[in-house]
Chain A
Amino acid sequence: MLRQIVLLSLFLFSTGLYGILTRRSSVGLFIAIEMMINAAIINFVAFNRFLAPSHIDGQVMGIFAMALAAAEVLVGMAILVMLFRQRKNTDIQSMNSLKH
């Protein structure tokens, strides 16, 4: 059972990764990031449950991860709004002014 859960979270993580690498719109990017973080939390909970059932560290980490994810999306959205106001579009590929 643990193996299947870990494989599942790995699958989620990889699809999130695919999402980051291909999405053009920044919101899509955030969606993919959320998915990857969620995969990580699944792992936390699963390992906590199977390897150290009496402890709660896994779940605590899960909660903190969720909090961080929220913070991250918030900041992301703020930047996104600023960018959108200045660039009028949210396409990541057009934002390459930091090139050589």
Chain B
Amino acid sequence: MSFLSNFEWSQNIFYLLAGAMVFFGFFTVVTKHILRSAIYLMSVLFFSAGIYLLLGADFLAGAQVLIYIGGIIVLLVFAVMLTRSADLAEDHPPLTRKLFGAAGAITFFVVSAYLIEQSPLIIEKSLPSESASIASLGKSFVDIGASGYALPFELISILLLGVLIGGAVIARKEMRTK
């Protein structure tokens, strides 16, 4: 999987993907139509899968496309359809809220960016060559050793089960016994 990872032309692919993500990311939150915003989100996720591939986390890219785009965006679209919030298409928040929201987001961005610049962690380093293989990723899920993630793996499955049942119970029609 190294063909994507040689250094110099992967740099400009990254900039391409990043540019697209920024473009679509911006529009997801700004657009008045909820449905379009869902579509833009889908494209942002799609390009971020690209970045994972760039960084060699190809299983994750696959998972991303599968779960996020396949599952969550579809769910969101269903929700939009079910709740007829489509007629609420024009979601234009009052100006004051927009201003405050923008102010909050921008200050957050500026402060964190400044902190990142200062932080000694991100030393300028080129993309290292070797990367972990998917086999080691798979083994880690079942490895009950110190560095293994068996327990969280089991937990996450129980969680998902709980959430599934919970979601069904909440969204059920009123009980007739009332």
Contact = CB atoms under 8 A, between A and B. Distances in A.
Given A10-B113, A32-B29, A53-B132, A59 B57 contact: yes
A95 interface: no
Contact of B60 (A3, A45, A70, A74): A45
B170 A79 contact: yes
Contacts of B29: 15-16, 18-19, 22-23, 28, 32, 35
Interface string A1-38: 11111111011111111111111111110111011001
Given A25-B88, A55-B132, A77-B167, A84 B22 contact: no
Contacts of A84: 82-83, 85
Given A21-B97, A91-B88, A70 B72 contact: yes
B156 interface: yes
A66 B26 contact: no
B131 interface: yes
Contacts of A21: 97, 100-101, 104-105
Contacts, number: 232
B55 A35 contact: no
Interface in B1-40: 11, 14-15, 18, 21-22, 25-26, 28-29, 34, 37-38
Interface string B86-119: 0010011100011011101110110011001000
Interface of A: 1-8, 10-28, 30-32, 34-35, 38, 41-42, 45-46, 48-50, 53-60, 62-64, 66-71, 73-75, 77-82, 84, 89-91
Given A17-B105, A18-B104, 18 more contacts: A6-B122, A8-B22, A11-B25, A12-B44, A12-B48, A16-B29, A20-B101, A27-B34, A27-B76, A34-B68, A50-B125, A66-B68, A71-B163, A73-B75, A74-B75, A75-B167, A81-B171, A90-B88
17 contacts: A10-B109, A15-B105, A16-B29, A22-B93, A25-B34, A38-B64, A41-B48, A49-B56, A50-B127, A56-B137, A66-B68, A67-B159, A67-B160, A74-B164, A77-B78, A78-B168, A91-B88
